[in-house]
Amino acid sequence: MARKRKKGRRRPETALSRRSFITAAGSGAAATVLLHVSPIVQGKTFNPDLIRPPGSLPEEEFLTKCVRCGECMKVCPTNAIHPTTLEAGLAGIWSPFLVTEVGYCEYNCTLCGQVCPTGAIEELTVEEKQQVHIGTAYLDRSRCLPFVFDTPCIVCEEHCPTPKKAIWFEEVTVRDREGNEKLLKQPHVDPELCIGCGICEVKCPINDPAAIRCTSGGETRNPANQFLLSTSPYG
């Protein structure tokens, strides 16, 4: 192929034919459209497990910047940030997400944004970061000890880092098997205050899975991934 060219000035062996150039470029563009078939990449659905680090751009923009280098995963002091496999669709493979069963987002830490080389995770000040909701904690009343076994437990509320705690108690009186009265504190989550950091999930004494778990719902970066509460920005 290369040698049939004009005599005297041979093309280098690495020269690509026009056909292979067009094929390669076309394949790249085809990959773009093909990987966008996934509803999550198009933003039609939201994976509850896909909690992005604080300061992450909206999903579509995020994926145009993230180079999957893993700097945020290395620097995260609580081992919270992990590489996705298919959680963000194939287009988002090996991008960062929080596994709040393993680690939580430290309230006073902005390291992931500091080391992100491309700005996929914006560098926020600690004060800005503390306002960002990366998700929301949901209480599982069929697993939570004060709800299901009438066992006193206040672990999640104790760890909740927001100045006004996102987890609050309702004091209730219940009866046990023998009919004796028992005073219990049953936790509730205030979705307006909860930032989804996941420390409640990590510290919850129930492990398989925790009785309080975080999802990406309510994340600040995706206005479409909200719940229609009277407290939401959509009133």
Mapping DSSP to helix (H, G, I), strand (E, B) and coil, where does residue 181 land? strand
Our CB check for other proteins shows the closer of 27 and 207 to be 27
> Taking the complex as a whole, how short is the minimal distance between the CB of residue 17 and other proteins, in angstroms?
9
Number of residues that bind other proteins (CB under 8 A): 54
Contact flag: residue 206 with other proteins (CB under 8 A)? no
Our CB check for other proteins shows the closer of 109 and 193 to be 109
Give alpha helix (H) positions in 36-110: 39-42, 59-63, 71-75
> Taking the complex as a whole, how short is the minimal distance between the CB of residue 48 and other proteins, in angstroms?
15
Contact flag: residue 124 with other proteins (CB under 8 A)? no
The Cα-based distances of 59 to 54, 225, 235 in angstroms read: 13, 11, 24
Contact flag: residue 203 with other proteins (CB under 8 A)? no
Q: What span, in angstroms and rounded, lies between the C-alpha atoms of 114 and 123?
A: 5
Tokens 């000035």 -> residue: 9
Give alpha helix (H) positions in the chain: 18-35, 39-42, 59-63, 71-75, 111-115, 126-129, 145-148, 155-159, 199-203
The Cα-based distances of 24 to 34, 75, 82, 235 in angstroms read: 15, 36, 32, 49
Contact flag: residue 221 with other proteins (CB under 8 A)? no
Our CB check for other proteins shows the closer of 2 and 229 to be 2
Contact flag: residue 58 with other proteins (CB under 8 A)? no
Please, which residues bridge with residue 97 across strands?
A: 82
Contact flag: residue 205 with other proteins (CB under 8 A)? no
The number of beta carbons lying within 10 Å of the beta carbon of residue 74 is 11
Contact flag: residue 179 with other proteins (CB under 8 A)? no
Our CB check for other proteins shows the closer of 53 and 187 to be 53
Q: Which stretch binds other proteins (CB under 8 A): 105-113, 154-162, 166-174, 214-222?
A: 105-113
The number of beta carbons lying within 10 Å of the beta carbon of residue 69 is 15
Q: Which residues bind other proteins (CB under 8 A)?
A: 10, 12-14, 16, 20-21, 23-29, 31-33, 35-36, 61, 63-71, 73-75, 77, 79, 82-85, 91, 93-94, 99, 102, 108-111, 114-119, 126
